[in-house]
Chain A
Amino acid sequence: MARVKYLILLVLGALALATVAAGAASETGVTSTQVTIGGTTPLSGPASAYQSVAKGAAAYFRYVNAKGGVNKRKINYIYKDDAYDPSKTVDATRELVSQDKVFAIFNSLGTDQNLATRAYLNALKVPQLFVASGATTFGNDYKKYPYTIGYQPNYRAEGTIYGRYVVKHAPKARIGVLYQNDDYGKDLLAGLQRGLGAKAGLVKSKQSYNVDDPDVQSQIAKLKAAKVNTLMVFATPKFAIQAYVYARKLSWKPLVYMNAVSSAANIMGLSTAATNKKQTEGTISIVFLKDPTDPAWRNNSGMKLYRSIMKKYKGGNPNDVYAVYGMSVAHTFVAALQKAGKNPTRARIVKAADSLNVTNDPFLLPGISVKTSATDHFPLDQAKLQRYHDGHWVAFGGLFRVR
């Protein structure tokens, strides 16, 4: 009798253990062999050039999977098209959460797009990790939205750097601003004004444009008419190039501060080709990624790794700096997933994302680390200033905090 009892207890105990173990591995999106994550990207529409952010990340994950994955799990990264339309972002994100049952939303692109899904994801306690947007709110509002975190240096901080630099080195400048009429442009502008502080009066003219305008000729004309000698270009690549072209047409050569989004070397190359070397000479920007077209990184091991992954895992055009961004954010996700342990749960990965300390990212500038803490929800907040000289960017000064 006693033996039967023991047997029953044993079986029950084993069953209990099995259910506990199954329960432990049954976090949504996580199986014993795979972790499924998803995000939205503009594969079509006006912002489709940014899709390399997703493609670069996807290539990196394939590379990691080929090496065995993270804690024996492969990463299954699904990205859906939202055509940069926030209502499609909502739909696609809901599909990812309720149909594809992803573990986390990762690397969704766009400020308005991520704002549209933030409340929903946080209410359902689905992590919204490493949002591809520089809007400050993603790092500031973590008390209200603890499941959300951004990645890139935020726009407001970037504008602040430019403001502070002008105050320090050109306190008599006459500043003009060309900015996109949405949160991205307005954030940069707000940062500039914050950085200028008491000298906000140096801004003599602010001209906005809509992303569906054909050109910014009249905006540039007005900026010149305001006798501006320092031009802040807070615009996406298409319009950034036009800023140079139309300025040249008016025989105007202000000192240009180019926002990071449009400072990629291939874009600067197009600007220079459309005008001349003098027009783009001296442009200032910030940088935090290694630019794949910068000859300084030609023999760099990180960039070599990048190129080999792009080639082998079909990441797209290797000269596209957005793909480098994608790999960097994927690298950070892998670090966070590693930190979440052998049995990752949503709560654990959020905790990991809030306590990052990654110093070996091969795609970021040397010396930049990815750090977060309970009070610091900005993973990347360091950058260098760089100046465009003779056809390429030259970093100068030290690394500084973009806060």
Chain B
Amino acid sequence: MRSRAPGIAVWLLVAAVVLLAYLFAPRFISDFHSRELAGAGVFFIAIVGLNLLTGYTGQISLGHGALMAVGGYTTAALAVHEHWRDVWTIPLAGVAAGIVGFLIGLPALRLSGLYLALATFAFAIAIPSLLKKFSGLTGGSQGLRLLEDAPLQVTGLSGTVTIFGHTMTQNHFLYYLTWGIGLLGFLIAWLLVRGRVGRTFRAVRDSEVAAASVGINLAWTKTLAFALSGVYAGVAGSLLAIQVEIVNPLSFTFLLSILILVGVVVGGLGSLGGMILGALFVQYLPDLSTHVSTAEGAPDFIFGAAIIVVMLLLPTGVGGFLRRLARPLTTRLYLRP
């Protein structure tokens, strides 16, 4: 047991650093950048969730943008139609998306690989039409505007938010809320992955036949993975709705699903550590591309080229790369001569 102590110490140090960074970052960056980081936080949560499904359980989903839509619209509908306070809708949004995730997971029991990808892709594409059709609930093509129509908003127009006696700007509040939930979600995922659930997931990913032959219930595992990643996506969607104060079918197209997947793979499949970088990549790169050139179509070109270059250089994602780098270090920590 003695040989594990340095390993644990390193992890605690990392955790402490992360916690400090989280708490004090807004002091060093502009108010507006806090808002952008909050946006990255939304991606972070969705990406961690998708990683659980795709990286750890090996199930491809191109439909997580639609699950974010479920979460976002749940929050918006509750805030606008039922006058809930927006932040209290977050758990419910997660649950709603988790249920939908579970439903999507059902076809996964019969489909795999390409066909599963298509089924989830189909869901992602169909969602905007569905959202527009049921306009009584969803506001149709106009969507729902929380700023105007939701009376109980923690953010809203005032520009400042007072929580537990502390007053801070709206953007800071959004940052703390999003990354607080993000870090919590990350912790939960990390614990899951290290435990029995994680091992079950990985077993299913590596070989379904082998997993079934040792008694793992494939159906239960896959649908659990879908539901779990759905919860994360729903929470992310909910936070997005709270940040932007509007939900609209055009915000949840298949491009969003693609971006989340890109974030997972760039971050590193099956590696939680890289997820932060994946989120930052997906949030900041499109913006940076416009700074390089605002010529027609150039930002997309640059963004796509960046994705390709990163994948060519780091095929296992940033997380995979970091893990390879860290291996000599962690091996030494865990194996005492």
Contacts and interface: CB of A to CB of B under 8 A. Distances in A.
Given A86-B143, A183-B142, A210 B129 contact: yes
Interface string A30-61: 00000000000001100000000000000000
A91 B42 CA distance: 14
22 contacts: A44-B300, A85-B250, A86-B143, A86-B246, A86-B248, A87-B246, A87-B248, A99-B30, A112-B142, A112-B250, A115-B142, A116-B143, A116-B248, A119-B145, A119-B147, A119-B148, A119-B157, A120-B147, A120-B157, A123-B157, A182-B142, A210-B132
Interface string A110-125: 0010011001100110
Contacts of A88: 251
Contacts, number: 65
Nearest to A111: B142
Interface in A238-287: none
A212 B128 contact: yes
B86 interface: no
Interface string A87-119: 110110011001100000000000010011001
Interface string B23-39: 00000001110010001
Given A90-B244, A182-B142, 13 more contacts: A44-B299, A81-B299, A85-B248, A86-B250, A90-B245, A90-B246, A91-B39, A94-B32, A99-B30, A116-B143, A119-B148, A123-B157, A181-B141
Contact of B32 (A81, A98, A119): A98
Interface in A356-386: none
A322 interface: no
A44 B32 contact: no
Nearest to B295: A43
B53 to A, nearest CB: 25
Interface string B142-168: 110101100000000100000000000
Interface residues of A, number: 26
B250 A84 contact: yes
A81 B248 contact: no
B296 interface: yes
Contacts of A87: 240, 244, 246-248, 250-251
Nearest to A186: B141
B200 interface: no
B195 interface: no
B328 interface: no
Given A43-B296, A112-B143, A116-B246, A85 B251 contact: yes
A91 B290 CA distance: 15
B141 A182 contact: yes
Contacts of A124: 157
Contacts of A84: 250
A181 B143 contact: no
Q: Which label, helix, strand, loop or mixed, suits the secondary structure of the A interface?
A: helix
B-side interface size class: 20 to 34
Q: Ordered nearest first, which 3 A-B pairs have the shortest CB separation?
A: A87-B251, A182-B141, A87-B244
Interface string B281-316: 000000000100010110110000000000000000
B245 A99 contact: no
Nearest to A99: B32
B141 A81 contact: no
Contacts of A182: 141-142
Nearest to B244: A87
Contacts of B157: 119-120, 123-124
Nearest to A89: B246
Contacts of A210: 129, 132
Contacts of B147: 119-120
A81 B246 contact: no
Contact of B145 (A43, A99, A115): A115
B31 A98 contact: yes
Interface string B241-255: 000111110110000
Contacts of B141: 112, 181-183
Contacts of A116: 143, 145, 246, 248
B297 A95 contact: no
Nearest to B156: A123
Nearest to B251: A87
Contacts of B35: 94
Interface in B234-269: 240, 244-248, 250-251
Given A90-B244, A99-B32, A112-B248, A44 B297 contact: yes
B132 A86 contact: no
Interface in A310-368: none
